[in-house]
Structure 1
Amino acid sequence: MIVRQIAVFCVLVVSFFSCSGTRVEYYVSTKGNDNNPGTKEQPVATLIGAKNLVRAYKSKNKVSKGGITVWVSGGIYQQDASFVLDSLDSGTEDALVTWRAVKEEKVTILGGVSIDAKLFSELKDSIVKKRFSKEASQNILQLDLKSIGITNFGKHTQYGHALSVTKAPLELFVNGEPMTLARYPNKGFVAIGETLDSGSKPRNGDYSERGAIFKYTDDRHENWLQNPDIWLQGTFWNGYADDKIRVEKIDTISKQIKLATPHMYGVRGGRDYNHYVALNILEELDMPGEWYLDRKTGILYMWPMSNFEDSQIEISILEEPIVSLENASHVVFRDFIVEVGRGIGIYLEGGTNNTIAGCTVRNVGTSGIFMGQGAKQTFPHITHDDYEGVPISRNIGNLQGHIYKYTTWNRKAGKNHKILSCDVYNTGSGGIYLSGGDKKSLTPGNNIVENCKVHDYNRRNKFLWSGINIDGVANKIRHCEIYNSDFQAIYAHGNEHVYEYNNIHHVTQHSDDVSVWYLGRDPSDRGNLIRYNYFHDCGNKNRMNMGIYCDDSTTGVTVFGNVFYNMQTAHGVLYSNTGWDLTMKNNIIINPRSYTVVLSPHYYTWYKGKAPLVFGKGKLFEQRLFKDLNILKPPYSERYPELHNYMDVIEEGKEWEGMRSRRNILSTNVIIGGKENPIRTRGGKYGVFKNENNFQTNDDPGFVDFKNKNFTLRQDSEVYKKLPDFKPIPFNKMGLYVDEYRKTID
């Protein structure tokens, strides 16, 4: 009887955790109530309700090993504010709090609102109807957003290269896909015509804020005069520098466009990448999947896809991160869909040993998963060298400008975090931003992104916002698949990161002077290791692009054991501007578009005569190598003795040691096809890249299945005879894998 009474007491009083206290469970359901105790039978209704129960329990109890689990049942959980887990939730090391979707149930954490398709109606305004083609007017539906309580529409802003990342205005999503803001053309771009005034050039210190004037090349522009807020998005000077700029005036007499604000480099035509798309134009709502919002009336117009009446329709509202972990530790957040916000999907700052696993993060206005602080620019103009700003939490801002100016900036990302088996896509400004560790002291972050699928991550910002960005010290990107971008897959800052077992493909497809993997302009960023990755089907043969880009004065990169296939990167599988200690060894390169390695000692070639601008007293490298840190003092002097003479003077005011490439080697690689000489160097004796013991052939060297792209080498492969020191490459381990979070691989 006594035993039975104890059992009954356990069930009635603490049924949500075991009698031993080793396990505590709370439950959340859309059918619950936040006044409930959070048991399986009486769940709470919101994530906040569950968080309050967890805090209340932890304030009175020492949580034993195994921690607390919050189970969230299937449904949509709309967030009117960021769901924040902060330091109050961390507890002790063993107080692990797991937030988890109930197995096999779809749980969505939504930064917007769901709309019933029945609320849409046919076009009502006869004047508006006349602005559409006959076919469009018969298909377009409308919805008065103000009538359903939506009045915060956000606003269109300029964003792009050297500019702050801004939160998206209101966006529309149907059945999990972003709809297209009415644009012209529906596919492709409009070429920039004759430039009459390139506008002011902030890159050269001209802050007069003069917008460019140029000829338009398509008479369609003449139909847009009734639109008050037209924006052009494209590459206006360089093929990597994207921008979105408001149109101030369209002059149909002279066939000219005047832009309201300048582009970083000014505006020009003439190159095949000097082009744009025109956005936010009512008359261009001319195909299924497009939409337009009249911000004065609050009426949203859209041309729906088929079966619209059964569609799931959502509008983004929340500008804060949908989920935010701030100085929390030992938190597991798994198996959720986080979507439809105007800013960041999941934000992490500080703390230790947090895990984001099995989540889908999609349809957000900026980054999917963002680790570490951003920066608020305080300098009032578009700028590069004159940038000033301050760190800021829960915002991206001008992170790229800040980290360029303050290279040892510790972004307070925390340590030992894991982002595992997540899918991140349809994001506005990059997929995942990985950070952690301290560059000045070379303290490791040990943060990992592993087994994640990242694609379609440049809906808004383009250049610099990659599938995965990385900075800090000793972080890892492993077993990820990154694809479908005109720009980079990985953009790197920092030291001793490892990039391994990734499958990267179909990137850098429609841009210029862009690469698959990028690092540059800071010789102290050493120790980066790129190994056992599969790079394939990247680049554009008609553009200047690269595979591995060790840009201006990159040092200490090792490329080992990778497979490169069908790289249409016209400037090499590996390209370097004056690199030191670059090692490309034990790789397989198959059918490269051009050279395996291209090296330009750029201080003697295209940048000739300008070395004092970076090596001179008070200039960039003195700041980065002797003020932000000191390469002649520990830990840099001990970790990287190869840098000791980097800034030594050869000829006062003209030449420094770092201008001349050192100790670069291409060794023990298998190269199938490509140029007869796999290395192209420029600048004579100053372009040093040693070619040693490589095996070149035009034939199958002994793959398991060359035709079907299984590039595992058979044991009897000719490679092992030609190159006895060649190490087997684990081709079958590259890319995604099945685990408890990722059940299948598409």
Structure 2
Amino acid sequence: MFGKKSIAAVLLMSTLVLGSVASPASVYADRTLNGNVTTLSSGATTNTGLNLYVDGSVAVGGDGSKDTPFKTLPQARDAIRAKKGVLPAGGITVWVKGGTYKITGTFELTSSDSGSNGKSIVYRSYPGEKVIISNGVSVDPTLWKPLNSEAQKRVNPKVSAAKLVELDVRSMGLTNINSYPGGTSFSDKWGIIDLIVNSELQPISQWPNPEEVAGGKRGGWTTANGSADAKSFYYGEDGVPADGDTINALNADGTNRADRWKNSIAQGHDLYLQGFWRTLWSPLMSKVQSINTSDGSITLLDMPAGGMGSKFSKDVAGSNPVYRVGEGTEEWRALNLLDEIDQPGEWALDFKDGKIYYYPKGNIADMDVEIADKPNAVVKMNGASYISFLGFQIEDTLGNGIDLQKSHHITIAGNTVMNVGNGGIIDTYGYSNMIKSNDIYDTGGFGISIGSAGDRKTLTGASTRITNNHIHHIGQHAHLAGIVIRDSVGVWVDHNLVHDVPRDAVRYERNNNLTFEYNEVHNTALAESDTGAFYTAQDWSSYGNDLRYNFIHHNQRANGFYADGSDAGDNYYNNIIQGSDRALQLNGHHNIAKNNVIVASNTARIENRSDTLAISAAVTQNYGVSSIFADTLRDKNPTSGVWLNYAAQLKAKYGYTDNLWSDILNPAWRPEYSNGSKIIDNALVQVGSVIKPKYGDYTVANNNTIDSISAASFYNYSQMDLRSKNSQVLSKFPNLNSIFPQIGLQQDAYRIRVVTRAETGGLTNRN
């Protein structure tokens, strides 16, 4: 029960590159930031009608009293379930003593385990004690062996084979070790085991290494040298890429990499490359079919959809199937290969051998090793209500950390969710839930996800809140967002800090009446491009979303607020946007950016789509009244009932002059244009330009331009204190100086210490 070593900090800052991790290894100078400083707790002590106790250190569970506690969480749950809903006034608190509680599956709570209004069930860690709930598989140190003779031949020439060890995971009976669930070509379905050593997620092997610039422009990626055919690209000098750069980065370090990889493939070992073969987003993980060292090319087993070569390339090199010459900037890297383990901490899972190969940072016999192999959530609430779950550390699963389904009046607060293969906390079909003051990091997918909260057809709000959470270094396997909200109404997202993410910090699609306020975001899009710190897209019915008092900074690879093609009805006001590519990228109609302060960004932009847009040689996307985006609006029956009344409310609140919804569904109105969109009354500090579309009824007006950072008179720009003494700035955002200190994480009963921007790396851009 207590075999796992203690964890040095709740705030372990990830520097790992696992699967699809985006950030370089040197994100923080000290990964164990504030090593012994407690930042979260289970909250204030409250009086309840009944107190039950759990202590995993006892030999045998008792009756749940303080003197004879239960041994496991299920024992406490079952004791409450036996009451069949007859609960004392004030409810029940389950106090869980410190230690590691290993579970074989999921700790699940259902309707039978629910409380009621005024009689909540509270599960909480004992004050000042760390409680870890894990469904990982512990590894006996004696199972690690020296490398076998065949594996030794594949070790990177820069590393002594004696430094690596192997673990026969097939003999351990593990499940997710034979192949990727996504098959031979996929973007998101990583799905293989994770290796956690001394409570730190270990980085999967890769070439180039995270800090290594190998022929590209950033660490951890190299570039193709042009396309050879529809599923092949050149790594050597025979290519003819648009950028003219044909350096053979693959073999530049003298380790004979191409031949080594070719030999491993010939022996039956899979080689997968992750690449932006066609787009700047959603890199494809592709199995290699063959390597031709004669002409310096690599052939994938499956053709990327649309053929090899960036879709932005102008030159089509071949047809049937179509592929493009390539720009020479298509990034790719190799992942999960014994041949590329060359740094302490790296490991690989070899599907053919059924073994983990690992380069430990010390003596493996002294290390606590867990393997995440189970795809289920650690904690799940299904149809439950009036339950609080406070102050736990959830870890070591391939699934989600905490999974809420069809549950309501749930509070998830003061928890740390880490080392999970999918997402941190997910809530689907719930309402009146509170997700508060949690730390979430080192996840394979998203941080927090809300889906189908409320009802869009009836515009019934969910009254769910996501507040004061610290989310970072997520999306290690699949490039998902820190916070995801889909198909929901009436969700409130405030005071969260999201940073070091591979794609968007916040992604919200197909929603109404959302409120995003007082959130801080920095260093997004560290793996992908064409994204936004806040991103939404492609729904003509997604009106009534307010984004205010948010601070976006050090965001050089992404847009700030991005309303992508055919988005509608989003409102961006009184935000501070610093250091973004395009601070505002507004496609679609009735998107309004007003009274924002935009600083040191390249542009702010309103853009149109034509009625149809070529996606590939064979596919076009319709953006007019016959589009799928128009269908989402028609599906709401907008000409009568709730949605007709909603139109009047929206016009009154936001000042629309168009008729909702008849104008939008009229082809003569040209809904593919950015009609009704505005960039008005903003303060633009050292901003390159405001780009306007050629067509449409849009407005760009009354924006104050300040030429330099120094002229803006910010309180302390180097420390990102963007309060200002400049009258031109304050005339557009009068209460900037009182609002700004309120943005981001706040101290409360669960978050007893707030990290600084310097501690989170929030004063610099990532390379």
2:606 alignment counterpart? 599
Specify whether residues 243 and 37 from structure 1 end up closer, same or farther in structure 2 by C-alpha distance, changes over 3 A only.
same
Q: 1:51 aligns to what SS in structure 2? A: helix
Residue in 2 aligned with 1:629? Answer: 636
Structure 2 CA distance for partners of 1:143 and 1:604, relative to 1, 3 Å: closer
The CA distance in 2 between the partners of 1:537 and 1:191, in whole Å, is 25
* Alignment partners' CA distance in 2, 1:616 and 1:525: 16
Q: Describe the SS at the equivalent of 1:286.
A: coil
Change over 3 Å in CA distance of 1:516–1:161 after alignment to 2: farther
CA shift for structure 1 position 730: 0.6
Amino acid paired to 1:466: A
Distance (whole Å) between structure 1 residues aligned to residue 99 and residue 258 of structure 2: 45
Which range is displaced more, 664-673 or 434-443? 664-673
**RMSD value, Cα:** 2.9
Q: Match for 1:559: what amino acid? A: Y
Residue 229 of structure 1 corresponds to which residue in structure 2?
A: 270
SS of the residue corresponding to residue 639 of structure 1 reads helix
Where does residue 468 of structure 1 map in the other structure? Answer: 483
Shift of residue 632, structure 1, vs aligned partner: 1.7
Which residue number corresponds to residue 667 of structure 1?
680
- The aligned counterpart of 2:400 is 344
2:337 and 2:80 map into 1 onto residues whose CA distance is 49
Matches within 5 A, 1:240-639: 240-268=281-309, 270-271=326-327, 273-295=329-351, 297-306=353-362, 308-372=364-428, 412=429, 414-435=430-451, 436-462=453-479, 465-471=480-486, 472-493=488-509, 494-540=511-557, 545-567=558-580, 569=581, 572-580=582-590, 582-592=591-601, 594-595=602-603, 597-603=604-610, 613-617=622-626, 619-626=627-634, 628-639=635-646
Structure 1: distance between partners of 2:508 and 2:292? 43
Residue 449 of structure 1 contacts residue 478 of structure 1 at CA under 8 Å; is this kept in 2? Answer: yes
Q: Which amino acid aligns with 1:317?
A: D
CA contact (8 A) 1:160 1:461 kept: no
Residue in 1 that maps onto 2:130:
106
CA contact (8 A) 1:488 1:507 kept: yes
After the TM superposition, which of the residue ranges 149-158 and 484-493 deviates more from structure 2?
149-158
- Summarize the alignment of residues 720-731 of structure 1 with structure 2, pairs less than 5 Å apart: 730-731=739-740
For the 8 Å contact 2:276–2:331, the answer to whether it is kept is yes
2:741 aligned partner: 732
Q: TM-score, structure 1 length as denominator?
A: 0.81
Give the distance between the partners of 2:184 and 2:90, measured in 1 at CA.
46
The answer to whether the 8 Å contact 1:681/1:687 transfers is no
Report the CA distance between 1:444 and its aligned residue.
0.6
User: 1:120, 1:701 → 2: CA distance?
Assistant: 60
1:248-299 CA-to-partner distances (Å, cap 9, x unmatched) read 3334445443323343443226346522221232221222111123445543
Whose relative contact order is higher, 1 or 2, with alpha carbons under 8 Å and at least 6 apart?
A: 2
Alignment partners' CA distance in 1, 2:347 and 2:186: 27
Distance in 1, Cα, partners of 2:142 & 2:492: 47
Any residues of structure 2 matched to 1:202-221 within 5 Å, and which? Answer: 212-217=231-236, 218-219=250-251, 220-221=257-258
The counterpart of 1:196, out of the listed 202, 205, 228, is 228
- Distance in 2, matches of 1:551 and 1:352, equals 32
TM-score w.r.t. structure 2 length? 0.79
| Contact 1:339 1:345 (8 Å CA) reproduced | yes
Q: Hey, what's the Cα distance between the residues in 2 that align with 1:160 and 1:734? A: 43
Secondary structure at the counterpart of residue 319 of structure 1 = coil
SS at match of 2:644: helix
Distance 2:665 2:152 in 1: 71
Q: 1:336 and 1:161, CA in 2 relative to 1: closer, same or farther beyond 3 A?
A: farther
How far 1:139 sits from its partner (Å)? 0.8
Determine helix, strand or coil for the equivalent of 2:442: strand
Partner SS, residue 660 of structure 1? coil
Measure how far apart 1:307 and its partner are: 6.0
The amino acid of 1:557's aligned partner reads D
Asked if structure 1 preserves the Cα contact closer than 8 Å seen for 2:395 and 2:419, the reply is yes
Contact kept? 2:191, 2:398, Cα under 8 Å: yes
Write the deviation string for residues 193-238 of structure 1: whole angstroms up to 9, x where unpaired.
Answer: 432332xxxxxxxxxxxxx233334242321233522211122110
Q: Quote the Cα distance in structure 2 between the aligned partners of 1:161 and 1:516.
A: 31
**Hey, what's the Cα distance between the residues in 1 that align with 2:744 and 2:268?**
47
Instruction: Work out the CA distance in 2 between the residues paired with 1:691 and 1:353.
Output: 45
In the TM superposition, what is the alpha-carbon distance from 1:67 to its structure 2 partner? Answer: 0.9
CA distance in 1, matches of 2:500, 2:592: 28
Structure 2 CA distance, aligned partners of 1:160 and 1:367? 21
1:692 to 689, 694, 702: 702
Query: Displacement, 1:481?
Result: 0.7
State the Cα distance separating 1:713 from its structure 2 match: 3.4
Amino acid of the structure 1 residue aligned with 2:372: S
Tell whether the 8 Å contact from 2:491 to 2:515 is kept in structure 1 after alignment.
yes
Residues in 2 aligned to 1:631 and 1:612: alpha-carbon distance in whole angstroms: 24
Asked if structure 1 preserves the Cα contact closer than 8 Å seen for 2:454 and 2:489, the reply is: yes
* Compared CA separation, residues 616 and 663, structure 1 to 2 (3 A): closer
d(CA) in 2 for partners of 1:160 and 1:527? Answer: 40
Query: Which residue does the alignment assign to 1:25?
Result: 51
Residue identity matched to 1:631: P
Q: Is 1:242–1:461's contact at 8 Å kept on the other side of the alignment?
A: no
Take 1:724 and 1:742, find their aligned partners in 2: how far apart are those partners? Answer: 30
Q: Percent identity?
A: 28
Shift of 1:186: 1.8
How far did 1:160 drift? 11
1:708 to 701, 719, 737: 719
TM-superposed deviation, 1:117: 4.1
Q: Deviations over 1:407-451 (max 9, x none)?
A: xxxxx2x10111111111111111111231111211111111111
Task: Name the CA distance, whole Å, in 2 between partners of 1:138 and 1:603.
Answer: 61
Q: Which residue of 2 aligns with 1:50?
A: 76
Alpha-carbon offset, residue 177 of structure 1: 2.1
- Paired with 1:688 and 1:155, the residues of 2 have a C-alpha distance of 55
From the superposition, tell whether residues 163 and 233 of structure 1 become closer, same or farther in structure 2 (CA, over 3 Å). closer
| Structure 2 counterpart SS, 1:233 | strand
Aligned length: 646
Over 3 Å counting, the alpha-carbon distance change for 1:296 and 1:45 in structure 2 is farther
Structure-1 residue corresponding to 2:179: 156
User: Structure 1's 136 and 318: CA in aligned 2 closer, same or farther, altered over 3 A?
Assistant: same
Residues of 2 paired with 1:171 and 1:611: CA distance? 40
1:6 matched residue in structure 2? none
Deviation string for 1:20-50 (max 9, x for gaps)?
Answer: x952122222223565212222222222122
Q: What does residue 375 of structure 1 align with?
A: none
Pair 1:183–1:693, CA change in 2 (3 A): closer
Distance 1:163 1:340 in 2: 24
**Is the Cα contact below 8 Å between 1:161 and 1:241 reproduced in 2?**
no
Q: Which amino acid aligns with 1:737?
A: Q
Distance 1:264 1:328, change over 3 A: farther
CA contact (8 A) 1:110 1:338 kept: yes
Structure 1: give runs of 5+ residues left out of the alignment.
Answer: 1-20, 199-211, 373-411
Does residue 126 (structure 1) correspond to residue 134 (structure 2)? The answer is no
Residue in structure 1 matched with residue 91 of structure 2 by the alignment: 67
Match of 2:65 in 1: 39
For the 8 Å contact 2:177–2:351, the answer to whether it is kept is no
